[in-house]
Structure 1
């Protein structure tokens, strides 16, 4: 039995979506939620315990971010993916993008591999330090990453010249970063949460 009905899932997600989800996408998100709840009981993937809040905070915010990933993006790296956010919802919403999930913690990486397999996604899981990735990406996304300020320099190196760094963060944290300029879009239902896009120019 599903953790939440599809109607409930879609109702919770509605504020975050500019357009309705396909039936296939809704089905994958429902399966993803079931898997997340099951694994989270024994592996700490998220501190959020209620399925409704998981849908709002993790699924909704990630899908919202996916909706503003620049058109024409072909590759996206979710750096410090954890339970798969924002990468897996972005992959479900934007199947044309080749998404890579970078997660160095073994148990979390195992969950990501199981989620990708169960959901039938083309997503790649990189279970190693992000610094060892052999390629650059059109977009590098980070959400709730430990020591985000320190990880910014790692992320910037992984963005191809002219690409985009995407942070799901707060206005205060973006201001603290100082040297970066961004376009910031408020997250629906959040007091100070934003999706910030930084254009990365590299020599």
Structure 2
């Protein structure tokens, strides 16, 4: 991990690398019982999960809060939280079993200002704070910052940028940033018109994961303060 991070000009302290390793061990342990990841080779886990999660960090804003949509085993939310401990991080997933793992991982890593929420984002936006509290209590999680808005919203789970926009825009703070972690992609896959109508600008940062030579893209959507439209539908 330490050497791999240097590929992205990141200097990881040994203590930070050990936190990644602790999470990885627990991930693979729980993976024997619940489906957290199809990747089980230790080197591939390190590269495809951890290095991929932190690769675009130099392009990310120093936001106060982060929402990870469809976090699964905790990617990219947990690695980003470890590197940016001041972030208030919310991981959301529709699988109760995965959320149980995420909450456990947060306790194991002693992460503060961290919560795992069992919900779908679209339901989260609609439901009342009281109902959110009841559902979170049942899952053993909290709702300290929900519902609300987030300065940084990330996802590796959503295949469609349109879906990411639809889910993320209602909870994106003014001046906030959305980041979709994707494979190799071309500009033809990006609906620039919809993004512009939403009051966002878009930048695609392409990078290659070390050792395995996988090509990846970080699609960064920045809101232009005062011009963001919460519901910017597709083309007519």
- What band does the TM-score fall into relative to the shorter chain? 0.7 to 0.9
Larger Rg: 2
- 2:232 counterpart residue number: none
TM-score (norm 2): 0.75
Q: Normalization by structure 1: what TM-score?
A: 0.86
Pair 1:21-2:25 in alignment: no
1:1-203 map, 5 Å: 9-16=1-8, 18-71=9-62, 73-122=63-112, 123-131=114-122, 132=124, 133-145=146-158, 149-172=162-185, 175-179=188-192, 180=195, 181-189=201-209, 190-200=213-223, 201-203=227-229
- Residue in 2 that maps onto 1:5: none
Does the 8 A contact of 1:166 with 1:197 survive in 2? yes
Q: Are the aligned partners of 1:45 and 1:82 in contact in 2 as well (CA < 8 Å)?
A: yes
> Is contact 1:183–1:197 with CA below 8 Å preserved after alignment?
yes
CA distance in structure 2 between the partners assigned to 1:45 and 1:149 by the alignment: 25
CA RMSD of aligned residues (A): 2.0
| 8 Å CA contact 1:61, 1:187 repeated in 2 | no
Report the CA distance between 1:115 and its aligned residue. 0.5
Report the alpha carbon displacement of residue 51 of structure 1 after superposing the two structures with TM: 1.2
Instruction: Label 1:96 to 1:175 Cα distance change in 2 as closer, same or farther (>3 A).
Output: farther
Q: Deviations over 1:1-55 (max 9, x none)?
A: xxxxxxxx42344324x23112321121110111011111221111112111011
Residue segments in structure 1 that go unaligned for 5+ positions in a row: 1-8
- Work out the number of aligned pairs and report it: 193
Q: Are residues 163 and 52 of structure 1, via their aligned partners in 2, closer, same or farther at CA, if it must alter by over 3 Å?
A: same
Deviation string 1:157-203 (CA, Å, 9 cap, x unpaired) is: 11112211111013537642313342121233355411111112425
Change (3 A) 1:175 1:93: farther
DSSP 3-state at the match of 1:188: strand
How far apart are residue 95 of structure 1 and its match? 0.6
Conserved? CA contact 1:141–1:166, under 8 Å:
yes
Q: What residue ranges of structure 2 are gaps of 5+ in the alignment? A: 125-145, 196-200, 230-236
